Structure 1
Amino acid sequence: MIRRRHLLTAVAVSPLAAPHLANAQAARTVKVGSLRLIHSMTPHFYQRFAPAGLTIEIITFDSPTDGKNAVVTRSVEVGGFGIAAATLGAAAGEPIVVIGAFCNKGMGVVAKTGSGIRDIAGLRGKRVGIWPGSTQEVFALERLRETGMSVRDITAVRVPFGEMHAMLSRGDIDAYVGAEPGPGLSISSGVGELVEYPYGTPMGGLNMILGTSEGLIAQDPALLRTMLTIHRRASEFMMANKAEVADATVRILGAPRAAVDQALGANNVEYTWKLDDTVLRQSRIYAEQMLSLRQIRALPNFDKFLNPRFSNEVATS
């Protein structure tokens, strides 16, 4: 569900903050999909790196699936959302294409303080909040498997990311596998304790990607090259200026400052852009994991689904 639009105007950006980019489109508005998460903040920094005449309109979604659907229907030109949603779409034959990395990590397995849950094995028999179809779900199921368990060994409770902290606080669930700023909020408030950041599997910290549609690649590759250049500059700026990222997250998302500081201070958010060999390999492993879990019926056509062309061009420009 779309929750809001956030329009950033090019005229408010100084020439020094918005250098000229080759092949940029003049007097044009580009719609960019974003999620209401710390690790989806990158589009909010796009405008300062956009060329003159290019206006970025941010459309915020509450679920990765909604973000992916907006790209598929071309309601937005590009969008950042979870690799799970992208893989589900591609495996179903939707014209979704990954053209860049977006953000790694941003996840956390959190238990209620005093629950006695110290590791994944401690989740046995407990009520665990999980959002079905999310990247976090795949990581959770893999960590259960590695521990000799399955989803049948827990009571999985369907909980949206934004409600996980409140449900943990009320005692409606014993633990959750969430997305920042949820884990940061639970830990910083004392309501929850970190069980683990689940990055020890072959999928690493893979989380969000930058996606677009097959049609736009064919129609306007110059625009996509420009957008990935902007995305690169914004991502690199954010990794070097986390205090400014924290300020923007609190201001735009209304997230508690302590939760944001916890997530960024723990290095649990990594803003990325390059679709390199590591991301390509982890994306394939991720899809194979989804297939083994019967979340998809067949692997996507990786030659179409994963397109490093623009990332490679931007890396050498």
Structure 2
Amino acid sequence: MLRRKLLATAAASFAAPAIVSRASLGQNLRKVKMGSAFTTTTNAAFLMPALLKPEGIDLELVMFPSLVQRMQAVASGDVDIGNGGLSATMQVATKGFPMQVLANGCDGGWMVLAQPSIKSFKDLVGKKIAVQNGSIGLVSLNWKLKQEGVFGKVDLAFMDNQDQPIPLMRGDVAAICVFEPYAALAEQNGWGKRLWVPYDSPMGKTNLGFVASSAFVKKDPDLTKKMVAAHVKATKEMAANPSIAIETTIKQFKMTKEVAELSTKNLFFSADSGPAFVSGLKSLARMMIDDKMLEKEPDWDNFLNLGYV
């Protein structure tokens, strides 16, 4: 009888093994690197690691101050996927590095602020404006300078976004064309006032794309689908609940609540990748060609891969 009990106990143990979730097995998580930026337009990225872990994906966010470096890293495979400034993405794509836009990343998120003594763009003649080289901010600023008749009459000082508020405060530059949360930081502290809300150009609020190299998408469409789904879900959470964006800005950028709240009012979280997004992107390409920042439009049939949305 004792022998039968021992055999029965052993059989029951083998018949009912412990159930361990895939996500709990660290060695089974697939490592994926995602390039992102030091701006709040990419705030949705901070929600993605938690969304992807149940899918067996360990997402590492790699931050780049330079948008061109970020897109070069995506193109070369140093990171797998990225939040891409669409101007930089097109520059890389038209220089022999096949890239694909998978979804809208975020709309808006930048502003032109000037010292209190500056009343109009004409007051900037002979003075310095800080802006990030190669950015959508630069494209929109050039358009506005042409509209105001002062293009070529102001000096552009190329700086990354996080480096712009202090020179404005010190008076080293007369104005900045800067992305959030640094626009809100300068405005909240009284270092500058709004000179132009820059969304009336042909490209509108077009700004950010969720992008990958063509090789990455072709190699692993299933992983691409999961990444896009997580981006869309995270973006919808940000859009539906502004407090998440505020909390994320405070935590990730070490900003005050007042700066974070002001910053979110200039962010338009959207993954809508329909006709309006495509139209804005194509207008951006034409504006860049006019500025000689782009030699030709990308091959739209290959550049746009929006079916995953």
Where in structure 2 are the equivalents of 1:75-224 lying within 5 Å? 75-113=78-116, 115=117, 117-150=118-151, 152-224=152-224
Question: What secondary structure, in the 3-state scheme, does the structure 2 residue paired with 1:104 have?
Answer: strand
For structure 1, the 5+ residue unaligned runs are 1-9, 13-25, 312-317
Query: How far has the Cα of 1:38 moved from its partner?
Result: 0.9
Q: Does the 8 Å contact 1:108/1:194 carry over to 2?
A: yes
Q: Which residue of 2 aligns with 1:302?
A: 300
Q: Which residue of 2 aligns with 1:49?
A: 51
Letter in 1 for 2:47: F
Change (3 A) 1:81 1:118: farther
Deviation digits for residues 288-315 of structure 1 (CA, Å, limit 9, x no counterpart): 111111112222211111221212xxxx
Q: Does the 8 Å contact 1:38/1:260 carry over to 2?
A: no
Letter in 2 for 1:253: F
Question: Which has more radius of gyration?
Answer: 2
The TM-score with structure 1 as length reference comes to: 0.85
Deviates more, 1:33-42 or 1:166-175: 33-42
The TM-score with structure 2 as length reference comes to: 0.87
Q: Does the 8 Å contact 2:113/2:176 carry over to 1?
A: yes
Q: Does the 8 Å contact 1:101/1:210 carry over to 2?
A: yes
Q: Does the 8 Å contact 2:121/2:150 carry over to 1?
A: no
* Identical-pair percentage: 25
Q: Which residue of 2 aligns with 1:39?
A: 41
Letter in 2 for 1:125: G
Q: Which residue of 2 aligns with 1:71?
A: 74
Q: Distance in 1 between matches of 2:84 and 2:166?
A: 23
Q: Does the 8 Å contact 1:93/1:300 carry over to 2?
A: no
Deviation digits for residues 127-186 of structure 1 (CA, Å, limit 9, x no counterpart): 111222111000000111122331x11121122211110000111001011111111011
2:290 pairs, out of 292, 303, 311, with: 292
Question: Is 1:274 matched with 2:275?
Answer: no
Query: How far has the Cα of 1:228 moved from its partner?
Result: 0.8
Structure 1 stretches of 4+ moved >6 Å? none
Q: Which residue of 1 aligns with 2:262?
A: 262
Q: Which residue of 2 aligns with 1:18?
A: none
Q: Does the 8 Å contact 1:46/1:230 carry over to 2?
A: yes
Deviation digits for residues 163-212 of structure 1 (CA, Å, limit 9, x no counterpart): 11000011100101111111101110111101121000110101111110
Q: Does the 8 Å contact 1:71/1:78 carry over to 2?
A: yes
Question: What secondary structure, in the 3-state scheme, does the structure 2 residue paired with 1:190 have?
Answer: coil
Query: How far has the Cα of 1:254 moved from its partner?
Result: 1.9
Question: What secondary structure, in the 3-state scheme, does the structure 2 residue paired with 1:153 have?
Answer: coil
Q: Distance in 1 between matches of 2:256 and 2:40?
A: 11
Across the aligned residues of Structure 1 and Structure 2, the Cα RMSD in angstroms comes to 1.7
Question: What secondary structure, in the 3-state scheme, does the structure 2 residue paired with 1:248 have?
Answer: helix
Q: Does the 8 Å contact 1:119/1:196 carry over to 2?
A: no
Q: Distance in 1 between matches of 2:120 and 2:223?
A: 46
Deviation digits for residues 194-244 of structure 1 (CA, Å, limit 9, x no counterpart): 112100011010111111011011111111111111111100001112212
Where in structure 2 are the equivalents of 1:229-244 lying within 5 Å? 229-244=229-244
Q: Distance in 2 between matches of 1:222 and 1:89?
A: 25
Letter in 1 for 2:172: D
Question: What secondary structure, in the 3-state scheme, does the structure 2 residue paired with 1:198 have?
Answer: coil
Question: What secondary structure, in the 3-state scheme, does the structure 1 residue paired with 2:96 have?
Answer: coil
Q: Distance in 1 between matches of 2:174 and 2:135?
A: 19
Query: How far has the Cα of 1:98 moved from its partner?
Result: 0.8
Letter in 1 for 2:274: D
Query: How far has the Cα of 1:11 moved from its partner?
Result: 5.1
Deviates more, 1:41-50 or 1:138-147: 41-50
Q: Distance in 2 between matches of 1:198 and 1:228?
A: 28
Deviates more, 1:276-285 or 1:42-51: 42-51
Q: How many residues align?
A: 284
Q: Distance in 1 between matches of 2:271 and 2:123?
A: 36
Q: Does the 8 Å contact 1:104/1:205 carry over to 2?
A: yes
